[in-house]
Amino acid sequence: MQKVRTPVLIQRLPARFNAGQVRAIMQELQPFLKADRPRVVFDLSQVEEMDAASVDMLLQCMSDASKRDGDVKLASPSVRAMVILELTQLDRLFEIFESPEEASASFGGPFTASQTEDLLLGFPSASLGHLEAEQA
């Protein structure tokens, strides 16, 4: 019997990751976070600005995922994003990886580059319907 695992969602965050963006991102993520065992990677490579609302969103996503036996990981933080993560001590709460592919693989992948591209969502992104379940 094959077991279907929840896909890993890679969400690329915008350069200006602030209160103005948080609402739209959360609306997009909610269906995925309500699934059983959500697995999310936030790609912070483009982030140049973060505020309290963005920090709160990361914590909320972690909380929502944990309640459903899932996890949230961070990838490729820019220098500015890393400073904020360190100042807020989020770097102690989240696993942080050098690339989205490494973060995805840490969930039990491994994913090939083409599979990761299929799962990669940017902001604004396509609907979550493009996600494909990985076969165990």
Domain at 11-128, CATH homologous superfamily: STAS domain (3.30.750.24)
Domain boundaries, the chain: 11-128
Q: What is the pLDDT of residues 1-17, one digit of tens each?
A: 444 567 899 999 999 99
At 11 the three-state DSSP class reads: strand
Q: What tens digit of pLDDT does each residue of 105-125 get?
A: 999 854 444 444 444 444 444
Contacts of 106 (CB under 8 A, 6+ apart): 73, 95, 97
Supply the DSSP string of 79-118, one letter for each residue. HHHHHHHHHTTGGGTS-EESSHHHHHHTTT----HHHHHH
Coil, helix or strand at residue 20: helix
Higher-pLDDT residue of 122 and 35 is 35
